Chains A and B, each alone.
Chain A
Amino acid sequence: NAGVMQNPRHLVRRRGQEARLRCSPMKGHSHVYWYRQLPEEGLKFMVYLQKENIIDESGMPKERFSAEFPKEGPSILRIQQVVRGDSAAYFCASSPDRAFGGELFFGEGSRLTVL
């Protein structure tokens, strides 16, 4: 059973470009979470999605950031008009349902570098 798959692992963008990060949850998991980790900091919650629904986006910046989890295909975290402050590792996690086992299963992260 493959784990949570994220791609790309590394992404370099220039200021003003768009970044798209993809996450395929573990098989059978319908809940996806995105976290951001700035250098030397902990993981900060961004958004929680189920298929075709955003459940909690309280950690998402109001502008330039969006997320989706379509009926088919991976979850996408999209950052428009990137700035240097967006440089971070972005982690996706999944779970089978709201509270099963409590644990979230994490991908290996996507590291975004903005030049």
Chain B
Amino acid sequence: AQTVTQSQPEMSVQEAETVTLSCTYDTSESDYYLFWYKQPPSRQMILVIRQEAYKQQNATENRFSVNFQKAAKSFSLKISDSQLGDAAMYFCAYRTLNTGTASKLTFGTGTRLQVTL
């Protein structure tokens, strides 16, 4: 079974600075997706960024980028120019592409990001 580990329960960053959230995962599969979801106080789950495992190039979405290290099974999220609206819980998630397996998302335990002035 796949597992996702987020070892940082809480992180803090000053506005306009850069912060990196860590995520590692365990899988024996070669084809899968990785995601970062954001959960603000409203509790809505919002997709931040996705990475296909077969792509070597790291995904980027505006101020958000990932460092995907497939061999190390590491998938960190970098937030540049942090804004107050970035304050939220961030969840790393894994989804298999193996059609013989139920395609559910497996989540990590989350990292709470605080953004200070």
- Identify the A interface with B (CB < 8 A): 31, 33, 35, 41-45, 48, 55-56, 58-59, 89, 91, 93, 95, 98-99, 101-104, 106, 108-109, 111
Contacts of B50 in A (CB 8 A): 101-103
B38 to chain A, nearest CB (A): 11
- Which of B35, B102, B104 counts the most A-chain CB atoms under 10 A from its CB? B104
A99 near B103 (CB under 8 angstroms)? yes
Tally B residues with Cβ within 8 Å of A.
Answer: 23
Given contacts A43-B45, A43-B91, A103-B47, 6 further A-B contacts (CB under 8 A): A45-B105, A48-B103, A59-B104, A99-B99, A102-B35, A106-B44
A7 to chain B, nearest CB (A): 15
The answer to whether B25 has its CB under 8 Å from any CB of chain A is: no
- Which of A42, A45, A99, A108 counts the most B-chain CB atoms under 10 A from its CB? A42
Contacts of A89 in B (CB 8 A): 43
A89 to chain B, nearest CB (A): 6
- Identify the B interface with A (CB < 8 A): 33, 35, 37, 42-45, 47, 50, 52, 91, 95, 97, 99, 102-110
The A interface, classified by DSSP as helix, strand, loop or mixed, is strand
14 A-B residue pairs with CB within 8 Å = A43-B91, A43-B107, A45-B106, A55-B102, A98-B99, A98-B103, A99-B97, A101-B50, A103-B33, A103-B47, A104-B95, A108-B42, A109-B43, A109-B44
A42 near B110 (CB under 8 angstroms)? yes
A42 near B99 (CB under 8 angstroms)? no
B85 to chain A, nearest CB (A): 18
A75 to chain B, nearest CB (A): 15
A103 near B35 (CB under 8 angstroms)? yes
B45 to chain A, nearest CB (A): 4
